[in-house]
Amino acid sequence: MKLPSLFFFIFLFCENSIAGIAGIEGIVIGPSSGMLILSKPFAASGDIDTIHYQNNSFVYKKELKGCKVFNLSTAEDRSDGSWEAFSFMLEDGLTIKIILNVKSIRKSGVQGGINQTEFDEVNRISDRKTENHAAFMDSIRKKINNRVLVDSINKVNWDKVNRWKLDYAETHITPSGAYLIWSLLRKYESVDPYIDIQTLIRLRNKYARVLPVSEYLTAINKYLEGSNFNKVNSRYIDIKLPNQQGERIPISKIAKNKIILIDFWASWCGPCRAKNKLLQPIYNIYDKNSFDIISISVDKSVDLWLKAIKEDRIIWNTLIDEGNRNNIQDLYHAYSLPTNFLINKEGIIVAKNIEAAELKAFLEQEHIPKVSP
């Protein structure tokens, strides 16, 4: 589905406007009176309001900033646990019209706003893909009696549905795209995350330029802040970066079966340059098959980086992420320099911002062999 270029400007306005009033004019197909529950998707305590309707209609207004997705369901259905919600997008400064069919939520409809139109289309495509997946798996279960194989096929096929959502979010920097990213994070937060950290940071940076005040962008930032990808006892993140010859080298190629010190620095950072001198004697005395250093520069200038390497006589592994082009500082939260991470042979971060004396003591404790004098 290709969206008009005009969407960009409307989305930008939607997400940068100050708080305004979002409204709903509703018609209820079902009992003439009752109570509806307005809630946030995926929220354990997401109920935020009740809406009473009379004569099969209601009017609702809410102060809102930007575009946000809400669910609408009946209080009666919620009480017996068999409820199904109708999802829609509210936008500040805009009133939408909803026809809610309480007996068949799927037959409900909504009109109003280009953001809602896109959200509606995204939901239709997603629902169709989900239904196709369910039908496909029903046919597979009738043909195959091997549960392990069926589970494997189910995962591969379901990944295609999720991949469509992620691809859409990559190419449509809109409130609906932001919501898709957030929903994938929430849906898989209790299991292995569907979106890897590097992809998530890249998407976050892309959305921040267009939708800086999106509630979903804020939620993504909080998710990243709470992740364990750069903390002690977590596994280090592998990434390919250029070496002095311009060859892109993965950290894992250097780190395999070794204790590794990953050190973030820059040519203009005085304390970093001083630490290089302190690391020099430690690097020289230990066996390179057991211990190694990877210095990662965030210099914007390759020439200044190479000049500093020569001046500091750095002979260990040196990589560069020019101006944080590959988001390496975001991946490791290495915003202050110098910052380092000590990685054990199993690829686990065992220390952060370790001093030279502490590093030497650790290597001695681990009985790392020394080179012959």
Q: CA 183: distance to chain centroid?
A: 10
Counting every residue written for the chain, the total comes to 373
How much is the pLDDT for 303? 94
Q: Please state which CATH class domain 15-112 belongs to.
A: mainly beta
pLDDT band, residue 191 (cuts 50/70/90): very low
Q: Tell me the pLDDT band of 226, cut-offs 50, 70 and 90.
A: low
Average pLDDT score over residue span 5-11: 40
Question: Is the omega angle on the peptide bond into residue 281 within 30 degrees of 0, that is, cis?
Answer: no
Residue in the block written with tokens 């006589």:
313
Tokens (6 digits) for 55: 């004569």
Q: What is the CATH number of domain 240-365?
A: 3.40.30.10
**Mean pLDDT, the chain, whole residue set:** 86
For the chain, domain boundaries: 15-112, 117-226, 240-365
Q: Tell which wins on pLDDT, 10 or 164.
A: 164
Sheet with 47-53: list strands edge to edge.
Answer: 47-53, 34-39, 67-74, 86-91
> 171 vs 3, which has greater pLDDT?
171
pLDDT band for position 326 (50/70/90)? Answer: confident
Residue 1 has pLDDT above 50, yes or no: no
Q: What is the predicted pLDDT for the residue at 8?
A: 40
